[in-house]
Structure 1
Amino acid sequence: MLEIRSKLEGEKYELNELEYSLKPLGYDIGGGWDYDHGAFDYKLDDENGYMFLRIPFNAVKGQLDKDNCVVELGTPYLLHHVYQRGLDDNVSVWNKTASFNQFSEPQDPDGSIDDKWISIGEKMVKDLEDQLLD
């Protein structure tokens, strides 16, 4: 994980309006949300695991699954998950645990981040600032 300092930190938005602004840019609300916090994710790469630019947020008024929820943005960061390879190599119809163990733990949940992705992430955060802070 690598934080990217931003003028967006601490800014408050109505969640539906924020989602309306970010979805056309390729951001989605990540699957790890709860009623009081979540994040917008932009998948940058899936070549060697997954590389995301993540914009975290916390509910400051209401709950995420309700209308008129207001969220406060946190510090954006790059996140690189490197997944284990070869876990499904020996799966067969007789493997009774396959249906229970279909998702592997990351080999490295905090993989290294190349300078290329840092530059891209910084530019994307700057673009978001330009769009959301005008």
Structure 2
Amino acid sequence: MRFDNSGIENLSIELSRLSDIMKEAGFILAGQWDYERVTYDRKFEIKGEIFYLRLQAYAIEGEIEENARHTVVKLLTPILGKYYYPHGVEYGDGETFPNSLVEQCTRILSQVKENISAVANL
């Protein structure tokens, strides 16, 4: 599921600031980055099912590195997916998501957007 009207897509921010904001919002980075892209995930477990709210970005200045100080990234549209063992996460149109989860993700994304807007002067 795509959150097309979140207002997050196309925002730009320094990577180190984004990482702080995402950590505060309960997202993890883990090893999900390369030199051009970065992905943050927040896991939800509801009635035995696992879902992931994912926010991705790509570098527009510098490279994605673990301790990059001046890298600037542009955010993509947030997505929500359902985890299926052993295949992975599915984001397709055929997936159904609990309304309470969608509402919670919308609130989280709204707060993330507010925090990014407060520090991103790009």
**TM-score surpassing 0.5?**
yes
Deviates more, 1:71-80 or 1:21-30: 21-30
CA distance in 1, matches of 2:7, 2:87: 34
TM superposition shift of 1:49: 4.4
Which of structures 1 and 2 has the larger relative contact order (alpha carbons within 8 angstroms, sep 6+)? Answer: 2
CA distance in structure 2 between the aligned counterparts of 1:32 and 1:17, rounded to whole angstroms: 17
Verify the 8 A CA contact 2:32 2:40 in the aligned structure 1.
no
Matches within 5 A, 1:76-115: 76-83=78-85, 104-106=86-88, 109-110=90-91, 111-115=95-99
CA RMSD of aligned residues (A): 2.1
Runs of 4+ in 1 over 6 A off after TM superposition: none
Match of 1:56 in 2: 56
Q: What's the offset of the Cα at 1:56?
A: 1.0
User: Does 70-79 or 109-118 show the bigger shift?
Assistant: 109-118
Does the 8 Å contact 1:8/1:73 carry over to 2? yes
Q: Distance in 1 between matches of 2:24 and 2:14?
A: 17
Aligned residues: 112
Partners of 2:63 and 2:116 in 1: how far apart?
Answer: 22
Instruction: Give aligned-pair identity as a percent.
Output: 21
Letter in 2 for 1:133: S
Deviation, 1:38, is 1.9
1:31-70 Cα shifts (integer Å, max 9, x gaps)? 3322111211111226534211111101111111143211
Alignment correspondent of 2:2: 3
Are 2:108 and 1:124 equivalent residues in the alignment? yes
Return the letter of the residue paired with 2:64. Answer: L
> Is the alpha carbon distance of 1:72 and 1:105 closer, same or farther for their aligned partners in structure 2, counting shifts above 3 Å?
same
- Kept in 1, the 8 Å contact 2:25–2:112? The answer is no
- Report the structure number with the largest CA radius of gyration: 1
Q: What TM-score, normalized by structure 2, do the two folds share?
A: 0.78
Structure 1 unmatched runs, 5+: 84-103
